[in-house]
Amino acid sequence: MSLGLARRASAEFTGTALLVTAVVGSGIAAARLSPDDVGLQLLENAIATALALGALILTFGPVSGAHFNPVVSAVDWWLGRRSGAGLAVRDLGGYVVAQVSGAIAGAVLADLMFGLRALAWSHTSRTGPNLWLAEGVATAGLVVLVFALARSGRASVAPAAVGAYIGAAYWFTSSTSFANPAVTIGRAFTDTFAGIAPASVPGFVVAQLVGGLVAVAALAVWYPDAAGAADTVVVPHGEEVTR
C-alpha cells in the first residue's frame, strides 16, 4: 500500500469508526434517557447521527473524500474507471477494508464508552422485503445525492446535505436507513438499540448494493457526465486540498 493510499485509508477507517460510534453511542444514550418512548429514542439517534456525519465529512473529506461507505466508493470507481478519475481498483480495495474494519472498531468503542461488553452480537432481527426495499431506496438516494452535488459543483454543501438526507431517511424508510454495508456490518457487533442481527446483515447488504446499481442507472440518465466529477466525491480531496 502506497503512503498516499495508507493516509487516505486511515482517514476512511477513522471516519467510519467515529460514524458508527455516533450511531451506536447515541442509540445507547437514547435508550437510557428515554426508555419508554421509542419514537423519541429514534429522534435522538437520528439527530446525533446526522450532525456527526456532517462534522466527520468536514474533518476527513479533504483527505479521502469522506466516503465512509463501500457503495459510494464502488460507484466512484465504476464511474471514473475509463476517465481515470475517482478510485483505482487498488484504492477501492483499501477503502473497503478500512471502512468495514473501522465500522467494527466504532461499534466496539461505543460499547466500551457506555460500560458494555466490547463485543456482543446483536439480537435485533431486521429482515423482510419491505426493509430490503427501504435499504435500496435509501442507498440509491444517497449515492445520487453525492454525485449530483459533485457534478453540479456544489460539493461544498455535501456535509450539510448528506447529513440532512441521512437524518431524514431515518424517518421516511422502514429500515431507518442504514444505507451503508460497512455500517451494517459494524452494527452487528453491538447488542444495543442500533444493532442488527448477523443473520439480517446479508439481506441489507445485498439491498444496498442493488441500490447502488439503481443509482448508477439514474446517474447515467440525469448526469451522464458524472464520471468527470469522481475526484470530488463526497467532497474535493487530495494533496493539493490538504496542504
Q: How confident is the model at residue 239, as a pLDDT?
A: 62
Q: Which amino acid is at 133?
A: L
What mean pLDDT do residues 2-14 have? Answer: 91
Q: How confident is the model at residue 225, as a pLDDT?
A: 87
Domain extent at residue 60: 3-242
Residue 168, classed as helix, strand or coil, is helix
> Could you tell me which residue, 202 or 232, shows the higher pLDDT?
202
What mean pLDDT do residues 171-193 have? Answer: 98
Q: Output the domain CATH number for residue 229.
A: 1.20.1080.10
Q: What is the DSSP letter of 120?
A: -
What mean pLDDT do residues 22-49 have? Answer: 97
Reference 162, options 175, 151, 147; nearest CA is 147
Q: How confident is the model at residue 84, as a pLDDT?
A: 74
| Spatial distance between the Cα atoms of 97 and 109, rounded to a whole number of angstroms | 18
Phi then psi dihedrals of residue 220, to 5 deg:
-65, -30
Average pLDDT, the chain: 94
| Spatial distance between the Cα atoms of 99 and 73, rounded to a whole number of angstroms | 10
Count of structural domains, the chain: 1
Q: What cell numbers appear for 40 in the block?
A: 423519541
What residue has cell string 445485498? 206
Q: How confident is the model at residue 241 (pLDDT cuts 50, 70, 90)?
A: low
Name the pTM for this structure. 0.95
Reference 50, options 164, 159, 140, 133; nearest CA is 164
Q: Which amino acid is at 231?
A: D
Q: What is the dihedral of CA 201, 203, 205, 207, to 10 degrees?
A: -150
Do residues 114 and 29 make contact, with C-beta atoms less than 8 angstroms apart?
Answer: yes
Q: How confident is the model at residue 19, as a pLDDT?
A: 98
| Spatial distance between the Cα atoms of 144 and 148, rounded to a whole number of angstroms | 6
Cis peptide before 144 (omega within 30 of 0): no
Reference 78, options 189, 241, 233; nearest CA is 233
Residue-wise pLDDT tens digits, 216-231: 999 999 999 888 888 8
What mean pLDDT do residues 67-92 have? Answer: 91
Burial 201-215 (b: 16+ CB within 10 A, else e): bebbbebbbbbbbbb
How many C-beta neighbours within 10 Å does residue 3 have?
7
Helix ranges restricted to H, 81-128 = 89-113
Q: What is the dihedral of CA 25, 29, 30, 31, to 10 degrees?
A: 100
Q: What is the dihedral of CA 228, 134, 194, 92, to 10 degrees?
A: -30
